[in-house]
Every structure is written in C-alpha cells, then in structure tokens.
Amino acid sequence: GQNIDQPTEMTATEGAIVQINCTYQTSGFNGLFWYQQHAGEAPTFLSYNVLDGLEEKGRFSSFLSRSKGYSYLLLKELQMKDSASYLCAVKDSNYQLIWGAGTKLIIKP
Amino acid sequence: ETGVTQTPRHLVMGMTNKKSLKCEQHLGHNAMYWYKQSAKKPLELMFVYNFKEQTENNSVPSRFSPECPNSSHLFLHLHTLQPEDSALYLCASSQEGSGSSDTQYFGPGTRLTVL
C-alpha cells in the first residue's frame, strides 16, 4: 500500500527553527508537496520538490531525498502565525496526490 | 473575487435531508476536486473532474453525487447522509489535472455536521 508518515504534533519556540519530517512509500514518484493549513482554513501551497536537494523560499525551505523516500520542511525564525498544520503529499505514478495526516505545529512565546 | 470559494461554510443537516455544496474557482483552471478531511486523518480524494468530465471516483458512496456544469463550478449533492459523514469537505482546482508540477489550490471548505 501507499503510505505517508509525518509526526502528529510538534512544539517549538518563537524565533527558533523547526524541522518537520515526512517519509513516504508510494507506487512511483512524481513530486512532493508541502501545504500549510491554519485551523478552519484552506490548505495553502508552500513548496514543491521533484529533484533531490533543498528548495528555499524565504523563511521556509524544503528538502527531498528520493533514494531515502524522505523530505523535510524547515521553518526558520518562527513566528506565532506559523502555528498551523503542515501537510505532506506525494504524487504517485498515476499523478494522484497521496496525503499524510499532517503535523500540527504549536509555537510558544 | 479570486481563488477558490465554497458555500456554505458551515452546514448542519439531518440524515433525511438533501443539500448541496458549491465550489467556484476564479483561476482559469481545468481540473476540480472534492476531498473529505476528517480529524487526524489524511485528506481523502472523492472525485476529480477534468474539463468537466469525471475522471476519478474513489469508491465514494452513492449518497454523494457530484456535478460539474463547467470548468469553474463544482457541486456536491448530499442525500440520506450518515453521522460518520460529518467532516470538512474541501474543493480544490488545478491547471491541468495531471503532470508532476500541477499544483492544487484549495477553497476554505464546508464544515458538515450530520445529526
């Protein structure tokens, strides 16, 4: 079967750095997506990785290792507004998105 | 108005009611999706429409009936639902419905409660 694993919940301090991991086992790979979802709101697109390596976008970076079936989302200089759920999703060989259950990130002052 | 909109935002219905959820996208996309999101579970893909044609039906019970009259509008008709159908229903759209980098953009969802 296809599976995406990410931690259920993480806690970090304002101003710090946090890394949210995602491991996947899918039938084929056609890219990995990260989304942010604040409570009661729409998931919003953060990043897309299809090749190995690090993609940086301001305070957020996403890393991919296809050989290890592994990705992480790195958030720097954490702000209170970063408190949200972070969803990892992989496109399989049929170009269908397989979703993780999401990681709830709690930021403390 | 921009992006993907959904109405209503909240819906409470009895098991014998019939209601419809509406989604509209203003992004010029050709593919639209319905997802079900339950607490602490991965998003479940329900239906996919590409250029108004249904291309995916992930074994969804017949009490959920989608309708896509054009590339900008998507409906989900609900009838004789069960309490376990209570969830957040998300609509999304994307440019082409396939391809590696084709990115889905979501609406804010309809929070559905079935009594």
Per-run averaged pLDDT (10 residues), chain B, 115 residues:
89 92 96 94 93 82 94 95 95 88 94 95
- Over pLDDT 90: what percentage of chain A? 94
Interface of B with A in 47-86 (CB under 8 A): 56
* Cβ-defined contact of A45 to B105 (cutoff 8 Å): yes
Q: Which of B84, B64, B85 is nearest to B76 (CA)?
A: B64
Per-residue pLDDT tens over the stretch A73-94: 999 999 999 999 999 999 999 8
Mean pLDDT of A59-73: 97
> B113 in contact with A at a CB cutoff of 8 Å?
no
Tell me the residue ranges of DSSP E strands in chain B: 4-7, 10-13, 18-25, 31-37, 44-50, 53-57, 64-70, 73-79, 87-94, 105-106, 110-114
- As a whole number of angstroms, the distance between CA B44 and CA B85 comes to 12
How many beta-carbon contacts under 8 Å exist across A and B? 50
Judging contacts by C-beta atoms under 8 Å, the chain A residues touching residue B101 are: 31, 48, 50
Mean pLDDT of A12-33: 97
Mean pLDDT of A6-29: 97
What integer pLDDT is reported at residue B114 of this predicted model? Answer: 95
Residues B24 and B83 sit within 8 Å (Cβ to Cβ): no
Phi/psi at B85 (5° precision): -85, -5
Give the tokens for residue A20: 């949210």
From the list B4, B40, B43, the residue facing A99 with the nearest CB is: B43
What integer pLDDT is reported at residue B100 of this predicted model? Answer: 82
